[in-house]
Amino acid sequence: MSDIVSQLHQGQLLMVNSRRRNGLILFKQFHAEFAGPGAAVGNLFDLDCKAVIEVGDSSPLIDPKAHEERQKAYLIRRQWIRLTQQITDNPMPFQRAQMILNQFENYFGAEMVARLPSEAFALMVGVLPQTVEIVRYYPDYPGLKGRG
């Protein structure tokens, strides 16, 4: 088990460093969540975390000491969840896969996204890993042309 997962299982509230272009993909039993810069992690939210992938400029998690800092971290975590929710609201699986890949490429760059497993993106937006693979490697696939 990784050090980060161990920290999350301890129930301590931590925060992703907001001064770096980084984040964590948190794998739960049936889905994955992204916590980007400034987002709260740990506490009761992530006791069920099974694995973690660090994304971007790796940085240790921060212990938010002040009440205001903790409140802001909670709000930022909620914003990251809402962003993912907006993508999952799309009923077309190929479009959901394309949207999450685009979001990550815009933020972290194509090279970083290429190193991340398709399963991580699939679990974030509720599609099969094969759907993400098709979107990644076969951009002219017929299902990508509006049928989803």
107 φ/ψ angles, rounded to the nearest 5 degrees: -90, -45
* pLDDT at res. 57: 85
Q: Answer for the pair 36, 61: CB distance below 8 angstroms, yes or no.
A: no
pTM exceeds 0.85: yes
pLDDT score for 146: 56
In the structure encoding, which two tokens stand for residue 86, read together?
């907006």
Q: What is the pLDDT of residues 122-138, one digit of tens each?
A: 999 999 999 999 999 98
- Tens digit of pLDDT for each residue in 84-121? 999 999 999 999 999 999 999 999 999 999 999 999 99
- 12-53 pLDDT, tens digit per residue, is 899 999 998 999 999 999 999 999 999 999 999 999 999 999
Which residues are paired to 51 by β-bridges? Answer: 27
Alpha helices in the chain (DSSP H): 3-9, 67-88, 93-108, 110-115, 118-125, 129-137
